[in-house]
Amino acid sequence: MIDIDEPLVAELISEQFPHWSTLRVRAVPQQGWDNRTFRLGDDLSVRLPSGEAYAAAVEKEKRALEFLDGKLPVLVPSVMAVGAPSRELPASLVRTSMVAR
């Protein structure tokens, strides 16, 4: 498992997506096993694989969300950007829009 906290997420956002660097990063209260999830501002979320073994799921999740968009009677999160591996986090970074609070 990779130790992922708010300062690390803020650093990754600043490096890879400077246009979102002013948005506040907050960890969600309940975390999953495969991913760590953070709120980015009021309307976005950042999901990061918690370990190398889960990194392959990033692209699979992106493809699934894009495929489902507009095909279900409920809102599906939109993938806003996918980050690149970095020195601090060797797995890809996924950011999706939030559809509910």
- Residue 29 resides in a domain: yes
Residue 1 lies in a domain: no
Its pTM stands at: 0.84
- 52 in any annotated domain: yes
Please, what is the end-to-end C-alpha distance for the chain in angstroms? 27
Identify the CATH number of the domain in which residue 16 sits: 3.30.200.20
Matching residue, tokens 């829009």: 97
Confidence of residue 81 (pLDDT cuts 50, 70, 90): confident
Farthest-apart Cα atoms in the chain, separation: 40
Dump pLDDT digits (tens) for 32-49. 788 899 999 998 989 888
63: containing domain: 6-97
Which tokens sit at 36? Answer: 């760590």
What's the number of domains the chain is made of? 1
